[in-house]
Amino acid sequence: MLADIKQQGISLSKALFASAKVLEEVQNGTSLTLALQGTSPDLRPAVQSIAFQALRRGFWAQEVLNQYVQKTPPGLTLYLLWAAIALLPEKNSEPMYATHTLVNEAVNATSLDSNLGFARGLINAVLRRALRNEKLYQEIPEEQHPSYPEWWTRKLKYAYPEQYLNILAASKEKPPLTLRLNHRFLKDEAGVKKYLDDLSKADIEYQLIDKVGGQKLSGAIELKNPIPVAKIPGFFDGACSVQDAGAQVAAELLKLAPGQRVLDACAAPGGKAAHFLEKYDIHLDALEIDASRAKRIEENFGRLKLNGGHIIIGDASTPKAWFGGELYDAIIADVPCSASGIVRRHPDITYLRQEGDIKNLQVAQRKILTALWSLLKPGGKLLYVTCSVFPDEGELQAKWWLNAMPDAVRLKAPGQLLPSKQHDGFFYALFEK
């Protein structure tokens, strides 16, 4: 994506300046998605790319900056330096830009705001000093420039003493682009084969993903090189969706029978709900508290040409306001969580989350679980899902649930899926009433 900035002839100085404004908003508590909405459409792809790089390397960039300044630069100057430093070449990698170009464009970015005139010399000096001593910034050990807040690393080290470094490393990698084939659209094996042939004809390299966490998948395809959805054959016709392989476990794990009533709580943007409707002939209520996010569910159902889905605007923790009275055969409780398993897709998470949030989320999750359990038929199944790697939101919640609900029986499920090159981090627990 960074290469596209050059290929599209986008001004790097303008992209750096806009990225600095986005980074400032994120640091002040705004999500990256919302912060990017204020960026002009022509610059947005470039700014998103730089912002992602800056957030992934943010703690490291701050450590590099600390080597050359005695006190934190004010306002946008700090974020311009942050964005530029994040584009410095990593060890054993080709630089995206000639170093003199990066320095010049970062300096030129100050001319886009009359209040930044004083910063030209500082930005020029810091970047040139850093470039004269590549080893200093390329070989700072992980312990000296942690890529995550201290509390984040501490919790992971406590939970996974032998694996936490691998978890941290996987969460910094660029995520794969994985497709989920719509078998209802493709109809049969011949349709799937034709679609795979279409990928090959378009020179799109791919590999089939057979299993995740021991769970067999039926339509997961990882593209070797991520591409825009507009270039994916059949995407807008409904042939496939973009969905992480770890998220595709849900519809494979929770087996359903024709005609069953299913509730997908906290359903937006609708990927799991759509997968269930593709796979099973069921009636599915997709519950979402946010009306604007619920529109994404409707859009997905429409693009994929799915029937049997009904969207409800409501709070999963207070069903009295929306529940119609007929119990469900199955419930998917994909509850709000820290999103610590999908950091590489949302690098702003480590800047927005605080340690105290985990306890608050745990309380909210328990409230939702308790409310949803009352909507489930005896013999029905509830699938508890989070995209977290913290046991507080995963295994500890599952154990709490078994103690809290004497009529809950835990069934076989993958449990904790740690992030890897092939998929993000998820937790799955399946209960029968």
Q: One-letter amino acid identity for 328?
A: Y
- Asked whether residue 224 is domain-assigned, the answer is no
Distance CA 341, CA 339 (A): 5
* Binding site residue list: 266-272, 288, 315, 334
- Asked whether residue 372 is domain-assigned, the answer is yes
Q: Are residues 278 and 422 in the same domain?
A: yes
CA atoms within 13 A on the CB side of 351: 23
- pTM score, whole prediction: 0.90
- Domain termination site, one of 117, 144, 171: 144
- Asked whether residue 293 is domain-assigned, the answer is yes
Those residues with Cβ within 8 angstroms of residue 289's Cβ, 6 or more apart along the chain or in another chain = 266, 313, 314, 315, 316
Q: One-letter amino acid identity for 18?
A: A
- Asked whether residue 185 is domain-assigned, the answer is no
pLDDT value at residue 91: 67
Distance CA 73, CA 79 (A): 9
pLDDT value at residue 176: 95
Q: Where are the alpha helices (DSSP H) in 374-394?
A: none
Q: Which position has the token pair 């500890």?
A: 396
Note the pLDDT tens digit of each residue in 236-291: 999 999 999 999 999 999 999 999 999 999 999 999 999 999 999 999 999 999 99
- Rg of the chain over all Cα atoms, to the nearest angstrom: 23
CA triplet 26, 145, 71: central angle to 5 degrees?
A: 70
- Asked whether residue 53 is domain-assigned, the answer is yes
- Domain termination site, one of 121, 144, 167: 144
Domain encompassing residue 314: 246-432
- Domain termination site, one of 84, 114, 144: 144
Contact 61, 80 (CB under 8 A): no
> Which residues of the chain fall below pLDDT 70?
1-9, 91-93, 95, 134-146
CATH of the domain at 96: 1.10.940.10
CA atoms within 13 A on the CB side of 116: 23
The number of distinct structural domains making up the chain is 2
52, two tokens? 């992602």
Which has the closest alpha carbon to 394: 370, 365, 354, 423? 365
Q: Are residues 135 and 254 in the same domain?
A: no
Distance CA 414, CA 216 (A): 11
* Binding site residue list for S-adenosyl-L-methionine: 266-272, 288, 315, 334
Distance CA 135, CA 149 (A): 24
Mapping DSSP onto H, E and C, the string for 251-298 reads HHHCCCCCCCEEEEECCCCCHHHHHHHHHCCCEEEEEECCHHHHHHHH
- Asked whether residue 231 is domain-assigned, the answer is no
pLDDT value at residue 212: 97
CATH of the domain at 321: 3.40.50.150
Kindly tell me the burial class for residue 16, based on how many C-beta atoms sit within 10 Å of its own C-beta (0-12, 13-18, 19 or more): buried
Q: Are residues 132 and 265 in the same domain?
A: no
Catalytic residue numbers read 387
- Asked whether residue 402 is domain-assigned, the answer is yes
pLDDT value at residue 1: 46
Contact 360, 366 (CB under 8 A): no
